[in-house]
Structure 1
């Protein structure tokens, strides 16, 4: 009994740590893209070049491009940890349901050690996990967006939180949650489906024939090849889903930055289209697609690789009952 319980607890810890590490690293490296996207979406000028010039005028131009990194890293890192942990729990339970899994028709090598679910199960699992994580992290999301904007002169996260609470109370920390949920839940659901499909097709192109050796199939492909396939699949899925969900992101940003002018999702969308045209719904699209493609690819590649190595170590420990000896011991 104890041997069955331990892996489950360790697995949840691994998923949380893997999500935290991959999310934080991606947020720090790609913060300039997030900053530029916020500036472009807030202005309605549709000009990335103008936003870059404006930021470059700062006394310290290099650090100016990383403004908002702390709230962004906190939000993305903790959010990724919650998301991947929740997603894993949902997918593990779904894997026990016959209608939620897909039959294994061949023994081709796979770049993933995660459960193989149907498209519908992946869609629901991804959407629910992202909506849950988004709700918990919504206050940090609002602080992050306002910190990145030049409409507010916040000097610290605590100062931003105090100002929001003083002027808008608790509802201010959840401004734009409707648009955020409508952006993130479908995005995450479609992302998991797209990611799994891209992995399947890329794996089949790389290994067009089935593997006859059952033990080799279980072990999976080489780590470098699986990382390449997972990275490519993450980038393709991220770019595709970003294009679909960008209008919700543009509306969400306006609500969070100017809640008095943009009161809710429907009114904000109508106001944007009326005053600035349909094109305003795709402000920051190139930046968001680039940032999402890179961050998704990096996060999922690191996440899957960490889980693959962790589960391999766990299986070895469970098989031998103790740490494996060093090769020359």
Structure 2
């Protein structure tokens, strides 16, 4: 998130501006990248031993996408979109607000800018992940279930009621430790890469930082997400497998979801490659996801600043 820590920006942008811009960016981004998210989840949940005689159900991004459309219709690519939109709405607000306030607070400690970016990014990711985790779990379970009579949850309300009845409050936080453990280094790496990249691009943009194109934010966001996602992907895979544990584990489309037994068991049975199932589609998703998010955030924040400035004149 560009320049949110600077004194000039903290004077110009209110916390409400940051929350609105972050939420708007999250909602728009989620709808656009939803199909890639569903494909990624299906691939991550798939267990396939190295010596298996039969091929896996899903074989790569395009095969998974065409299989879903053939078996479940085009709407299958947007499964879990309601909890996912709620996730992105609240996640974007919590993430950008926490990043901004943490960065401002760290400014008084004399830390190097890169250290501030990493710590503030990690804090923002941890806070946003914990606050929105039940939505993330619901999104994963909806994306993993079948259609029609194969549905486990018929609606968002039914899912919440069923999970609460059968698993209690802890059921909404299956895998939260892995989620927070993954997002701290991810968001730290993301902002530590994003900030200097955007600053470099801005310096070389003749239109300056206020260019309406906003390409600096999009390019920097795409690069930063690629670097960060590759670094922490095994933890993301573990989080997804943990989220579908519990009494409904054998009722999803993929019947080979095992009882989770740890990273070492995944490596023993599936090899190192098993820790990176879905990485390709994840990177295809991550770059435009972050590019759109950061671009939308910048555009909305600028618009809010402009509107407030006009109203004050």
Shift in CA distance, 10/52, structure 1 to aligned 2, threshold 3 Å? closer
1:100 match: 111
Q: Is 1:223 the counterpart of 2:211 in the alignment?
A: yes
Deviations 1:225-283 (A, max 9, x none): 5x0111111111111111111111111111111357545xxx42122112211111111
Question: Superposition pairs for residues 1-329 of structure 1, below 5 Å?
Answer: 11-44=14-47, 45=56, 47-48=59-60, 49-58=62-71, 61-95=73-107, 97=108, 99-100=110-111, 118-150=113-145, 153-206=152-205, 220-225=208-213, 227-259=214-246, 261-263=258-260, 267-312=261-306, 314=308, 316=309, 323-324=312-313
Aligned-partner Cα distance in 2 for 1:184–1:244? 11
Shift of 1:81: 0.7
1:203 is paired with a residue whose SS is helix
Aligned-partner Cα distance in 1 for 2:209–2:11? 25
Shift of 1:201: 2.5
Aligned-partner Cα distance in 2 for 1:162–1:32? 26
Given that 1:19 and 1:80 are in contact with CA atoms closer than 8 Å, whether structure 2 keeps it comes out as yes
Deviations 1:143-200 (A, max 9, x none): 1101100376322111112222222211111111121112111110110110012112
Structure possessing the higher radius of gyration over alpha carbons: 1
Given that 2:212 and 2:299 are in contact with CA atoms closer than 8 Å, whether structure 1 keeps it comes out as no
Shift in CA distance, 237/10, structure 1 to aligned 2, threshold 3 Å? closer
Given that 1:39 and 1:150 are in contact with CA atoms closer than 8 Å, whether structure 2 keeps it comes out as no
Shift in CA distance, 75/94, structure 1 to aligned 2, threshold 3 Å? same
Provide TM-score, normalisation by structure 1: 0.78
Aligned-partner Cα distance in 2 for 1:52–1:311? 40
Aligned-partner Cα distance in 2 for 1:200–1:323? 30
* CA RMSD, Structure 1 to Structure 2 (Å): 2.4
2:3 match: none
2:254 match: none
Aligned-partner Cα distance in 2 for 1:300–1:88? 14
Given that 1:187 and 1:245 are in contact with CA atoms closer than 8 Å, whether structure 2 keeps it comes out as yes
Shift in CA distance, 128/202, structure 1 to aligned 2, threshold 3 Å? same
Decide which moves more: 15-24 or 193-202.
Answer: 193-202
Decide which moves more: 173-182 or 24-33.
Answer: 173-182
Decide which moves more: 147-156 or 76-85.
Answer: 147-156
What are structure 2's unaligned runs of at least 5 residues? 1-9, 48-55, 250-257
Provide TM-score, normalisation by structure 2: 0.82
1:211 match: none
Aligned-partner Cα distance in 1 for 2:119–2:228? 15
Given that 1:250 and 1:280 are in contact with CA atoms closer than 8 Å, whether structure 2 keeps it comes out as no
Shift of 1:304: 2.1
Shift of 1:302: 1.5
2:71 is paired with a residue whose SS is coil
